[in-house]
Chains A and B, each alone.
Chain A
Amino acid sequence: MDILNQLQRQYTDFTALLYREGFVDDNFTQVQKLQDESSPDFVVEVVSLFFEDCEKLVNNMAEALEQQDVDFKQVDSHVHQLKGSSSSMGAARIKNVCIAFKTFCEAQNREGCLRCLQQVNHENTQLKTNLQALFTLERQIVANGGSIPVMQ
């Protein structure tokens, strides 16, 4: 029981931290709410899909930015996709970087774009680590027979 309480408390604190630091926002809560008995792995599926998508887009953007004549329209459309995905999933920080990224694309600023791309990578890695930790905690709670505390 003690372990369970501790785990649950850790989970609550960690989730609160993620929200406070702006890693995730309300949309992530929405996504979490969509998980129930009929789709028990919904969140994990969405998150994995997101990261796959993100990596693919980042690779495409890196390739496009390495060209001599950068096709900013293409980069912009990739950024738009990434912004849409991150927005739907509730990855707030990545979405914010995308907003800045878009501005640089419109200004056709290669340096700015590269910097934003780096930032996207960085945020991506961080979010992945954080969410993996979150899911591990969830699994442990379930393994100990408890239920995952719901965020208000």
Chain B
Amino acid sequence: MSQLELKRNQVLEARFVADEDVLKHISDNGGVKVRKDRAQLALNVKRFVKKLENISDDDDEAQEIMEEQNYVAVLGACAEASELAQTPGRNVTFDSSEYPEKPACTPQSSKKYSASNKPQLKSKKNEFVSTTPYRLRKRLTAPSLRSDSESDYSASCSEEEEEDKDHKETCDVILGQKTPSKTRAAPPSKKTPAKKLKEEMTSNLVEEYFEAHSSSKVLTSDRTLQKLQKRKLDQQTLLVLLNKAPPAFTAELKELNQQHESLFSKWMLQLHLGFSIVLYGLGSKRDLLEKFRTSLLRDSVHLVVNGFFPSITVRSILNSITEEVLDHVGTFRSPMDQLDLIMKRFKEDSSLELYLLIHNLDSKMLRGDKSQQILAQLASLPNIHLIASIDHINAPLMWDQAKQSLYNWLWYETTTFSPYLEETSYENSLLVQQSGSLALSSLTHVLHSLTPNARGIFRLLAQYHLENKDNPSYPGLSFQDFYQRCREAFLVNSDLTLRAQLTEFRDHKLIRTKRGTDGVEYLLIPVDNGTLTDFLEKEDEDM
């Protein structure tokens, strides 16, 4: 049924609704809502259901959904249970220790609480939906669904109502505030005044925080990217793909940039007057600074520092200054000595001038206290002009009063909205496959150059490793055990051969040894389990 409807309305509508609006609607309609609850819940379920294919309208199917999303079911059931029990301030997060037994328990509990009539059961499901992280975005309303709703409300308003309704539920679950149970016999008069709700919102923000941090377990879905059949993209393909994506708002972005560029000469003026300039705001400021550099600094000595470069250090910055700007030959005992020399040279020679451009002053490598201190002292020199950019939300925390006065910042907001391409390209990003692919290829390469016996030894260790992957206190395989296993598999004939083999592994960083508390040597593979599984699968194919 719903499938058919879907076919008819292929363009879906996704809308973001402001929290304020939701609140208003809740408080406006709180009283009447309970009555029309059931019909609307049925609607919501349909909306949810249509996302999954091959769904007809009976209970078995619904059960399937529940199984798929059993974690949600747990949450929903528990939420309901607590609602019934009328416990104040119910908790949204549950221990995942309850987890395994849930598929069995959920249908039971739902049977227990609800009569067997369909809308009731569905109403529960609807709640489950609302607790998924992406619940809000899934609120895709197909206009024609309205027609088969049993609602006695006019068509024009019902759609909005649905949305608000949905919101209310999500709010309820998220905030964990104690509202009258909606699905069950709650008196219609028990409606929350708008004012009170608003107050609760603010105080709930605090409660929300502590709630989210109260238990160490957080309930989220178990889905992984691997199950999604999503390969990790490497940097190259990522760039290619991104180039294909259509650019948005080019005219507006250009206008923004032009606004910023008109400030260039003002920056120069202020740099010359002894201020340092720091740029903040969303978007990469690299292009902007590059443009500043090429248009105004062409004829002066300047140093560009890519703070986002993963192995940048203050030392390398100081070295660039002493070696390339000051043409100093020689080494220094400490960065302090180096800084002293630079300061002395710049103080002596007032004609010496240096512009220092630092992209991402707040990068991981430069945000340390000592680095910032040194950079601040550099910036405090009257003939070193510093212009830098920061991106991290907490970047200003790097500086205490003393450093700030050394830097003598003038803040400029330069929101550019341009993507942080260069800045994130070095970063070992979450979804971009970098070290993983390298490790796998290096694993196979190294092992292909070894004898079959050596490969067997490594396989043994890898298998043992994977067997114990769920054991958090797995210390590694002790050398004696390993030797025993290898002997049993006819891979080595003496203690010494195994040790020689292990040395080779260790040199290629394939294994690591750790000494346990009892002095026994334990062997570990410092590769993540996914890669290791892939490797073993590949090996199996080869064999």
Partners in one complex: no
